[in-house]
Structure 1
Amino acid sequence: MQSNSFSNFIGGISNQPLLVLNPVFKATDYVPLNLSVTNTDLQNINVSASAQLEAYIVKYIKKHKAAVAYGGYNETRAIYKRSNYFNASNETERNIHLGIDLWCEANTAVFTPLDATVHSFKNNTNFGDYGPTIILKHVVNTVCFYTLYGHLSANSIINLRVGQSFKQGEQIATLGDASVNGDYPPHLHFQIIKDVGNYFGDYPGVCNKKDLDFYLENCPDPNLLLRLVSY
């Protein structure tokens, strides 16, 4: 299946939004958030400090009378400059986000949008990394693909096992806070992956410009499933 047809396939799985957060949140509880380098509001925020970034996001959510701020797919961000994990001297800076972030309170429940089995999980402890992470495997109409859930609570992976099955809409985890999630404000990083390769409990969620075409093909827009914006 070619990449374009894969994106079309993902978009055709459901004509209704598929949920990854607590269904208590209604469509009107979500508000789009721009954390890219084009957002001039962030020029006055030290985005390297999780507390300052969290204060900005909480204020933004309250201003819009929402509960969850979302966005970030194919977004070039400055927030990764703080960590050498994204800026190794032998490679181009990785600063383009490949998933969608859903910013809300710590301990918010996380659900699988489709029937799934656990492919892998791991606590990715690099500064600025995912923290506790789960990758699920899905098979829909014989097509296999994966979804990644990053920045979870430590408890989310304690009793998990590879191959464990979850039904669509079943809770798989809860969100972590800055003490465990890579030092970010609480949020879910949700990413679709066509071919996970040899990765286990991890997959790049941020890439550099030279590799962008490959990653956008392998990781289509998660809104094709979530439908937080219309297509």
Structure 2
Amino acid sequence: MKKTLEMVVSSLPKMSVLDATLVNADYIALDLSKSNSALSEVDVSTSETLGAFINAHIEEHRAKVAYGGYLETRNIYQRSTYFKDTNPETERNIHLGLDLWIAAGTPIFTPFDAEFHSFKNNTNFGDYGPTIILKHTIDTMEFFTLYGHLSLASLERLEVGQKIKKGDQIATLGDAGVNGDYPPHLHFQIIKDIQDHVGDYPGVCSKA
């Protein structure tokens, strides 16, 4: 039977993109979808008010990290012309990655042996900001992981093709001044086919 990417990844031992000493109890799920009525009272167009909402959620649950977002339909992208579209079928508002909400400066690690595929500062308003893409090969299966909303320092002295080991630090998180104007968080995404993308790959899509 031919192995799928999901089968390969699920068979691996525990891996982490954050500090590996964090335990499950340190994480709390966060719903940023448009169906979350609590967000109707929050001005999600600013990183300050959205950040206050997220931090309050983390503190309320005595957690250290808020996580979630995969396949969420979100309104927070409507503030940016980079995503907004008058056609609801082609407006990009469905989130494709996993978000980990934690403080700026937090170290980020590679969960697998890897090499640097590409990196770029994606500077559109509401975009990733500094971004790194890693290439991985496990059991002949090739795939990629994307790390968005990093610090500017994370892009210094990187080399395409440079090899790193599982658990190596690759970056730190950026703040709203460089990360597309979001509260600090990591956008983590697994990609099977990178196509011709370099230092970027869509993390938000439309219904179409």
TM-score (norm 2): 0.95
Amino acid at match of 1:8: M
Task: Determine the C-alpha separation between the residues in 1 that align with 2:9 and 2:195.
Answer: 19
Give 1:28 deviation, angstroms: 1.1
Which structure 2 residues correspond to residues 91-130 of structure 1 after superposition, within 5 A?
A: 92-130=90-128
Q: Which residue of 1 aligns with 2:30?
A: 33
Shift of 1:189: 0.2
Question: Does the CA-based 8 Å contact 2:8-2:138 persist in structure 1?
Answer: no
Larger helix proportion of the pair: 1
CA distance in 1, matches of 2:9, 2:22: 23
What is the DSSP-based 3-state SS (H/G/I as helix, E as strand, rest coil) of the residue aligned with 1:203? coil
Which of the numbers 31, 37, 45 marks the counterpart of 1:48?
45
Q: 1:192 aligns with which of 190, 197, 206?
A: 190
* Unpaired segments ≥5 residues, structure 2: none
Where 1:22 maps in the other structure, the secondary structure is coil
In 2, distance between residues paired with 1:181 and 1:206?
Answer: 15
In the alignment, is residue 57 of structure 1 matched against residue 54 of structure 2?
A: yes
**Amino acid of the structure 2 residue aligned with 1:137:** K
Deviation at 1:161, TM superposition (A): 1.0
Structure 1 residues 39, 17: closer, same or farther in 2, change over 3 A? farther
Residue 113 of structure 2 contacts residue 136 of structure 2 at CA under 8 Å; is this kept in 1? yes
CA RMSD across the alignment: 1.6
Q: How does 1:72-91 map to 2 (within 5 A)?
A: 72-88=69-85
For structure 1, which runs of at least 5 residues remain unmatched after alignment?
Answer: 211-231
Mapped partners of 1:161, 1:112: distance in 2:
16
Is 1:142–2:143 an aligned residue pair?
A: no
**Structure 1 CA distance for aligned equivalents of residues 60 and 43 of structure 2:** 20
- Letter aligned with residue 193 of structure 2: D
2:10 aligned partner: 11
Tell me the residue number matched to 2:150. Answer: 152
Aligned residues: 207
Cα contact 2:173–2:184 (8 A) shared by 1: yes
Counterpart of 1:153, as a letter, is S
Give the letter aligned to residue 178 of structure 2. Answer: V
Matched AA of 1:155 = A
Offset at residue 27 of structure 1 (A) = 1.8
Tell me the TM-score normalized by structure 1: 0.86
TM-aligned CA deviation for residue 152 of structure 1? 0.2
Contact 2:122/2:128 (<8 A) preserved: yes
Q: Deviations over 1:127-164 (max 9, x none)?
A: 00000000000000111000000000000001111111
Q: Once the 2 structures are TM-superposed, how far is the Cα of residue 85 of structure 1 from its aligned partner?
A: 0.3
Quick one: distance in 1 between partners of 2:47 and 2:154? 22
Measured after TM superposition, the shift of residue 20 of structure 1 is: 0.1
Sort the Cα spacing of 1:89 and 1:36 in 2 relative to 1 into closer, same or farther, 3 A: closer
> Sequence identity of aligned pairs in percent?
59
